[in-house]
């Protein structure tokens, strides 16, 4: 197991990437060469969706793509026309799950079950969403978000996931007039694909 604790999203992203490059096992995923850390937990103390490091170093096209995935209900062509995160979160069989989580926390600030999912097992067959569980709760008065992901690609998509998850966390906290707590990501597989190895080596050196 690997534990990474950082203050900001950007530093967390690059620290995970550094550890993958230095300590990751050589694996294959979808037939492609990767380096992988198994059972990673990343805790970010101050998750800010406008993280300056990510904004300055990440690929803006991938950030925009992930933003659309989390905000637009249209199916995602690049994922075999799978449902977007926006639809899974805001229209899960007619339920706006984010609104439901807010109301559950409003009704019972101590609840431990303001838990929502993106997984739709009756229709998710060829594509399984990387982020499948979002669990909101209050800790010391702040809204903390705990997330489970079966796998995260830290070379291309994970920084976009971090930004959009933090944005959701801020939305829930603002609706409840509460401060934002930690963002905790549990990833079964945190990995980099071979084409991004050199780019991420360069970025992690820049951030040191």
For 124-171, what is each residue's pLDDT tens digit?
Answer: 988 899 999 999 999 999 999 999 999 999 999 999 999 999 999 999
Percent of the chain with pLDDT over 90: 90
Name all domains of the chain by residue range, CATH numbers in brackets.
2-207 (3.30.572.10)
pTM: 0.96
pLDDT tens for 42-55 read 999 999 999 999 99
Q: For residue 148, give the nearest of 192, 190, 97 by alpha carbon.
A: 190
- Which residue did the predictor score with more confidence, 195 or 125? 195
Which are the contacts of 70, defined by CB distance < 8 A and separation ≥ 6? 84, 85, 86, 89, 164, 167, 168
pLDDT band at 22 (very low <50, low <70, confident <90, very high): very high
Average pLDDT rounded to a whole number, residues 55-75: 95
Structure tokens at 24: 């990751």
- Per-residue tokens: 72: 């637009």
Q: According to the model, what pLDDT value does residue 208 have?
A: 57
Based on the number of CB atoms within 10 Å of its own CB, is 41 exposed (0-12), middle (13-18) or buried (19 or more)? middle
């Amino acid at each position: 197991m690997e534990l990474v604790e950082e203050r900001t999203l950007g530093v967390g992203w690059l620290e995970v990437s550094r550890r993958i490059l230095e300590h990751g096992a050589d694996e294959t995923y979808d037939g492609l060469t990767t380096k992988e850390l198994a059972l990673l937990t990343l805790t970010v103390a101050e998750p800010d969706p406008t993280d300056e490091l990510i904004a300055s170093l990440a690929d803006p096209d991938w950030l925009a793509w992930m933003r659309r995935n989390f905000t637009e209900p249209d199916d995602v062509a690049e994922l075999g026309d799978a449902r977007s995160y926006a639809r899974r979160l805001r229209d899960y069989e007619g339920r706006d799950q984010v609104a439901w989580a807010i109301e559950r926390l409003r009704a019972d600030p101590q609840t431990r079950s303001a838990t929502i999912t993106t997984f739709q097992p009756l229709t998710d067959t060829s594509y399984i969403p990387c982020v499948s569980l979002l669990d909101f709760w209050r800790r010391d008065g702040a809204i903390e978000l705990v997330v489970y992901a079966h796998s995260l690609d830290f070379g291309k998509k994970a920084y976009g996931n971090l930004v959009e998850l933090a944005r959701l966390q801020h939305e829930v906290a603002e609706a409840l007039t509460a401060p934002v707590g930690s963002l905790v990501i549990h990833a079964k597989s945190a990995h980099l694909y071979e084409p991004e190895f050199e780019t991420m080596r360069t970025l992690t050196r820049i951030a040191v």
